[in-house]
Structure 1
Amino acid sequence: MTLITTSSTGAQGVGKAVAAFDRPIVFGMPGGHTIQIFDALYDHQDSVECVLVREESIATVMAESYGRLTGRTAVVMAQGAWVLGAGGRGIMEAHLGASPMVILIDATEGGTYSHHGPYQSGFGGYGAYDLPAAMSAITKRTFVATDPVQAVQMTQLAAKHALEGEPGPVAVIFHSRALLNKFSAEDLPRLFFDGDYSSPIATTPESAISAAAAAIRDSERPIIIAGNGARGAASKSALLTFAEAHDIPVATTQGGKSTFPEDHPLAAGVIGSYGHNTANTLVGESDLIIAVGTKLGSTDTIDENPSLVSAARQTIVQIDVEALNIGWTRPVAHGLLGLVTDVLPRLDSALADLSAAGRSRVATVRETTDYFPELNDSIPEDWTVNPRRLSRILSEQLPANAIVTCDAGENRIFILHDFQTRDGGIMLQPNGGGGMGYAVPAALAATYSNPKQLAVAVTGDGGYAMSLHGLMTAVENKRKMLVVVMDNQSLGWIKHGQGARPFLVDFAPFDLGGIAAAIGCTAITATSEQELIAGIAKAREMTGTTVLIVKTGLSESFLTIKTDMAAGSHEEVASHDS
């Protein structure tokens, strides 16, 4: 165990603080003054897992995915200039999607020469960029440490704030003297490495639980909408137990997909423009909504379509750990503040033997709305696989508990609509910021957070090109994962949105499998459903990283799978017809 004395630097104190995190893991690359913290972590290798990445955005997306999968903070650590300049993708996703993350970076400010325009200076002022201001714009909170004590305490506070209320990314920017200077004798009594900095979690009073339960008992057609805030394993278990106990149907938001198994008789599917008509119909017909870990945002509610969700005609019970999220997007009749794992069991007890006839309601609506219907087989003569069939085949051929990550673009929409999740399975997508290049590093993180489950990244050829360095990290670290690439040689969503005037959306034909093989992956190419099924089976047997390039067509698009309530997309070009 490293002892902090007057001979210790601020960087050594930060290393010890990180080692005290809950199952600490660091994704990053040494650079700038953070090299001092990495040096300190050399002495904590028995307790801190450190993963070297090839580029900063890989670190931030891995940390975002890890945080969402575990509910714990992962640490991103690298030179501040390039965590900002290259790593913003994962930080913004964590900020908009509510994933905990701690970012430890330096400003490389130049010390006593910072006012004379040194190389890479980032502490603001003339001739420098303003790293604190920039990070404040894309994080939940940003701290600036200027001495060794602040370096330690702000690292500890970052972990606290990242998990407090709605989770999010919190940055600590270190001035060089905060890491290089040593502690004084007066400093040492101010440092507590074994103390508990967490805050008590708010709990809803019993009177509020009773009032909400009374409203649910008085309703005729209650339904649950589960969001990303119900994602943790314990939350999913509480949700399943509650729904089954009272026979209440469950729909999910896009971000909440896989919080409830979609093959369950109470499952309604995903609401929204690209989800399922079954979900939209059941939610629209309901007279009471139990919103679990969702803000009921405008995207999920189809531009706040009152035919789907309406505070005027439906009673809304909202459960959230963040008080500001309750009643954020519309007034709610009953706001229940607290963890899903606390509120739902208490609500369960208050409802006693209530049964809402959910199974029969779901079965009736499924008959008229084609819930996960049979899809036409791909046409062999086309030498391509229908992307919707690809998504369905993945759901049939992968293990039930596979972790599937998606990229931005149509690949995400096809998985959202046609991949049917099962109990134990997890599906992640960039549902906050929606950046391309997410799927591969997100799946890579899953090999660390959930090593006993197969991690599968589904991406288009555009996102694949943006994350090749993630494959290098996977190979270097001997990670078992499957990467499925929908190769249609285009930016599919944009091309379909442009209609009759496609522009700057077509890619040249590259040997994507050859690129993967050169990196060290097992590369497989599929041009038919039979080859796809065989490729999945082979990947499941492999011990390393497998890249499955699937040639897909353009006959299906986000336009062909819109739900009946769907709104227009901001990436659709208006008609030029007169």
Structure 2
Amino acid sequence: MSTSSTSSTSTRTRRLTTAQALVAFLSRQFTERDGRRQRLIAATWGIFGHGNVAGIGQALLETGGKDMPFLQGRNEQAMVHAAVGYARHSGRLSAHAVTTSIGPGATNLVTGAAGATINRIPVLLLPGDVFATRPADPVLQQLEVPYAGDVSVNDALRPVSRYYDRIARPEALIPAALQAMRVLTDPVATGAVTLALPQDVQAEAYDWPEEFFAERVWTVRRPRPDRDELAAAAEAVRAAARPLIIAGGGIRYSGAQAELAEFAGATGIPVASTQAGKGSLRHDHPADVGGVGHTGTATADDLARGADLVIAAGTRLSDFTTASSTLFRNPDVRFLGINLDPHDAHKPAAARPLVGDARETLRELGALLAGHRVDPVYAAAYGSAREDWERRVDLAFRAEGPDLDRAPTQAQVLGALDAVVTGEDVLVNAAGSLPGDLHKLWRTRSPLQYHVEYGYSCMGYEIPAAIGIGLAEPGRPVWALVGDGTYLMNPTELVTAVQEGVPLKLVILDNRGYASIGGLSEAVGGERLGTAFAPEHTPGVDLAANAASLGMAVIRARTVRDLREALAEARAADRPTCVYTRTRTPDTVSGPPPAQAWWDVPVAETATRPSAIEARQEYDRQAAQRRRHL
């Protein structure tokens, strides 16, 4: 990323501790794209212990809330999730920092860091570390490694960070901090960035050059594709009879939604979406055919099976979200990869790459294709299939007559929510069976509405991420949708929502177990082992009461009729509000359609139980259709 500074080089210095210098530096970093400038590090989350309270903690106090706002969390992993929710909603142009003590506070960052890096969302991690000067050895929470004196528990963050450095001397902060900002603002390289801060170095004073604290603007570039590759891509599109676009998260982060809508509208090429790309087109755009892959719509997956050209725009074609090894069955299928990252633009190996920013690439490719449209017969066929799918969605959402006084199915919960929200609302989800139903059924109304973290599918992401979104854009209604299994993993940040005055809307769907893995377990011969909660053994468990004890206003919805009223009340609320409902098992009429594509989950090759034997037979049948596109 290119940088610019607003002050000239000076020999003046300022005497500060390392922690004070870091906080002052972070408060003066900005990003700029398309003429819009904003703070790079907008706030710092923190939980304090002996490893950071006298360093970063004291520095945040001295700097003051205006220059670096402080946010108090309850769980270190959740603080990273909140920072990720904020950065994703901000289009990766603004981020948060997270500070913890050395020890369990630092290692609790690992899960959140992995999610940030896998999803390529910027977050700055500032864990304390053991003494660099080793005046006492070992100290509290120090991991002793006999063969290496410089290893600490923070080294667990190395494989899940896009940039990692341990600041063993104050002056080492200058190049490390600049490198950290470079990575955070690089749309290809971004993810979790870790600066491990030994607690003695945090408190050590140093004479810092004034230019270190000058305002810096990091320009987020929009690289354009190679002209020859662009011309070849246009020819490939013109030659295709059944092209299909798969829109991934790169469309969102490039802000290319309008360009995609124009490109699809002009060419008539249908657009399927990954979990990260859903919302790239409004659900009612004529070219939108819904989600693709294992959780995809019948329309999108049928188009993928017959496609002779797959235009993978801003997606890395992971197996679950695109079924990339089994779904594309046309023997003549070819691939065109539009991506900022050359590694992803070349997926699969046979792909013709277009390395560049999605917005600029779609604009230039569209100009070369002026006047070109797919065959009207093809457009009419997928349009008809799209209408058929919408009728199936209506059926899954429907609740009328006696059904109104029954407990809702999960699909009926989404139907009730669909009737309440507008394009202003944001839905947050990450794990369980909900991502599958949302990907198939949800009718996205705006580019930011669908916020499903599925690169890491991290249980416990939803509540803190919703808080991060609420901080990024106060006043926008934000819904955290969780099952009972996910809720039990990480409910404590509800206290943070109450404390910070973020009026998130929490919907708890109690299906008494790990429903998603239960279904998978049954399909692969595991017979739902360890996936159901037994009410008879937990008679006093009350998740609604738990949410109330953490400060939420709680509305219990026993029936579909109750649910509709509860969701409307929650949306209008100006304080954190929870809607709790116990869902019923769907029947074949009201439930969502089954998976439309196969997901490769290996099954025991030898077994004695009939369920596993049958599951292996089905696995072998499906695996025979794997294909490496070379």
Give yes or no for the alignment of 1:341 onto 2:362: no
| Higher mean C-alpha displacement, 242-251 vs 7-16 | 242-251
Structure 2 length normalisation: TM-score?
0.83
Q: Which of 506, 514, 533 does residue 506 from structure 1 map onto?
A: 533
Q: Which of 106, 109, 112 does residue 131 from structure 2 map onto?
A: 109
CA distance in 2 between counterparts of 1:575 and 1:221 reads: 45
Q: Which of 593, 604, 609 does residue 576 from structure 1 map onto?
A: 609
Aligned-partner residue type, residue 576 of structure 1: R
Question: What do the CA deviations read for 1:80-128 (whole angstroms, capped 9, x no partner)?
Answer: 43344323232111121221111111113374235x2211125865799
Question: What do the CA deviations read for 1:356-396 (whole angstroms, capped 9, x no partner)?
Answer: 35753431222555663422538649842111111222122
CA distance in 2 between counterparts of 1:39 and 1:241 reads: 52
1:562 matched to which residue of 2? 594
Contact 2:43–2:96 (Cα < 8 Å) also in 1: yes
How far the C-alpha of 1:258 sits from its partner, in A, is 1.9
Aligned-partner residue type, residue 288 of structure 2: A
Give yes or no for the alignment of 1:405 onto 2:413: no
CA distance in 1 between counterparts of 2:417 and 2:203 reads: 51
CA distance in 1 between counterparts of 2:586 and 2:280 reads: 30
1:544 matched to which residue of 2? 575
Give yes or no for the alignment of 1:40 onto 2:59: yes
CA distance in 2 between counterparts of 1:386 and 1:572 reads: 32
Aligned-partner residue type, residue 364 of structure 2: R
CA distance in 2 between counterparts of 1:95 and 1:502 reads: 32
Pairwise mapping of residues 111-510 of structure 1 onto structure 2 (< 5 A)? 111-113=133-135, 116-121=137-142, 130-164=152-186, 165-184=188-207, 188=209, 191=212, 193-196=214-217, 202-232=223-253, 234-302=255-323, 304-305=325-326, 307-308=327-328, 313-333=332-352, 335-356=353-374, 357=376, 359-367=379-387, 372-375=393-396, 376-377=398-399, 380=403, 383-499=406-522, 500=527, 502-503=529-530, 505-507=532-534, 508-509=538-539, 510=541
Structure 1 length normalisation: TM-score?
0.90
How far the C-alpha of 1:25 sits from its partner, in A, is 2.0
CA distance in 2 between counterparts of 1:572 and 1:32 reads: 48
Give yes or no for the alignment of 1:65 onto 2:73: no
The secondary structure found in structure 2 opposite 1:469 is coil
The secondary structure found in structure 1 opposite 2:318 is coil
Contact 2:47–2:99 (Cα < 8 Å) also in 1: yes
Contact 1:497–1:571 (Cα < 8 Å) also in 2: no
2:546 matched to which residue of 1? 515
Contact 1:377–1:386 (Cα < 8 Å) also in 2: no
Question: What do the CA deviations read for 1:534-572 (whole angstroms, capped 9, x no partner)?
Answer: 011101111011110011023469x97433433365699
The secondary structure found in structure 2 opposite 1:153 is helix
CA RMSD of aligned residues (A): 2.9
Q: Residue 37 and residue 129 in structure 1: after superposition, are their counterparts in 2 closer, same or farther (change >3 A)?
A: same
Alignment length, in residue pairs? 569
Identity of aligned residues (%): 22
Aligned-partner residue type, residue 98 of structure 2: V
Aligned-partner residue type, residue 463 of structure 1: T
Q: Residue 538 and residue 141 in structure 1: after superposition, are their counterparts in 2 closer, same or farther (change >3 A)?
A: same
CA distance in 1 between counterparts of 2:608 and 2:297 reads: 27
| Higher mean C-alpha displacement, 338-347 vs 294-303 | 294-303
Contact 1:372–1:420 (Cα < 8 Å) also in 2: no
Aligned-partner residue type, residue 350 of structure 1: L
Q: Residue 355 and residue 572 in structure 1: after superposition, are their counterparts in 2 closer, same or farther (change >3 A)?
A: farther
How far the C-alpha of 1:47 sits from its partner, in A, is 3.3
CA distance in 2 between counterparts of 1:576 and 1:205 reads: 56
5+ residue gaps, structure 1, are none
Q: Which of 7, 12, 18 does residue 26 from structure 2 map onto?
A: 18
Q: Residue 566 and residue 237 in structure 1: after superposition, are their counterparts in 2 closer, same or farther (change >3 A)?
A: same
Q: Residue 50 and residue 124 in structure 1: after superposition, are their counterparts in 2 closer, same or farther (change >3 A)?
A: farther
Contact 1:407–1:460 (Cα < 8 Å) also in 2: no
Q: Residue 176 and residue 5 in structure 1: after superposition, are their counterparts in 2 closer, same or farther (change >3 A)?
A: farther
CA distance in 1 between counterparts of 2:64 and 2:517 reads: 47
Q: Residue 421 and residue 381 in structure 1: after superposition, are their counterparts in 2 closer, same or farther (change >3 A)?
A: closer
Aligned-partner residue type, residue 351 of structure 1: L
Q: Residue 502 and residue 284 in structure 1: after superposition, are their counterparts in 2 closer, same or farther (change >3 A)?
A: same
CA distance in 2 between counterparts of 1:229 and 1:575 reads: 46
CA distance in 2 between counterparts of 1:112 and 1:106 reads: 14
| Higher mean C-alpha displacement, 459-468 vs 409-418 | 409-418
CA distance in 1 between counterparts of 2:470 and 2:49 reads: 25
CA distance in 1 between counterparts of 2:602 and 2:72 reads: 38
The secondary structure found in structure 1 opposite 2:485 is helix
The secondary structure found in structure 1 opposite 2:382 is helix
The secondary structure found in structure 1 opposite 2:255 is helix
Question: What do the CA deviations read for 1:59-79 (whole angstroms, capped 9, x no partner)?
Answer: 111112222222133212222
Aligned-partner residue type, residue 242 of structure 2: R
Pairwise mapping of residues 525-540 of structure 1 onto structure 2 (< 5 A)? 525-540=556-571
How far the C-alpha of 1:132 sits from its partner, in A, is 4.2
CA distance in 1 between counterparts of 2:144 and 2:162 reads: 19
Give yes or no for the alignment of 1:89 onto 2:83: no
CA distance in 2 between counterparts of 1:401 and 1:123 reads: 52
| Higher mean C-alpha displacement, 217-226 vs 36-45 | 36-45
2:627 matched to which residue of 1? none
5+ residue gaps, structure 2, are 1-9, 31-38, 614-630
CA distance in 2 between counterparts of 1:496 and 1:199 reads: 43
Contact 2:498–2:575 (Cα < 8 Å) also in 1: yes
Aligned-partner residue type, residue 453 of structure 1: R
Aligned-partner residue type, residue 52 of structure 2: T
Question: What do the CA deviations read for 1:215-244 (whole angstroms, capped 9, x no partner)?
Answer: 212222222100112123722222222222
Q: Residue 292 and residue 166 in structure 1: after superposition, are their counterparts in 2 closer, same or farther (change >3 A)?
A: farther
CA distance in 2 between counterparts of 1:90 and 1:193 reads: 31
Question: What do the CA deviations read for 1:150-169 (whole angstroms, capped 9, x no partner)?
Answer: 22432332121133224211
Q: Residue 392 and residue 425 in structure 1: after superposition, are their counterparts in 2 closer, same or farther (change >3 A)?
A: farther
The secondary structure found in structure 1 opposite 2:467 is helix
2:625 matched to which residue of 1? none
2:47 matched to which residue of 1? 29
Aligned-partner residue type, residue 343 of structure 1: T
Q: Residue 531 and residue 39 in structure 1: after superposition, are their counterparts in 2 closer, same or farther (change >3 A)?
A: same
CA distance in 2 between counterparts of 1:374 and 1:336 reads: 40
How far the C-alpha of 1:522 sits from its partner, in A, is 0.9
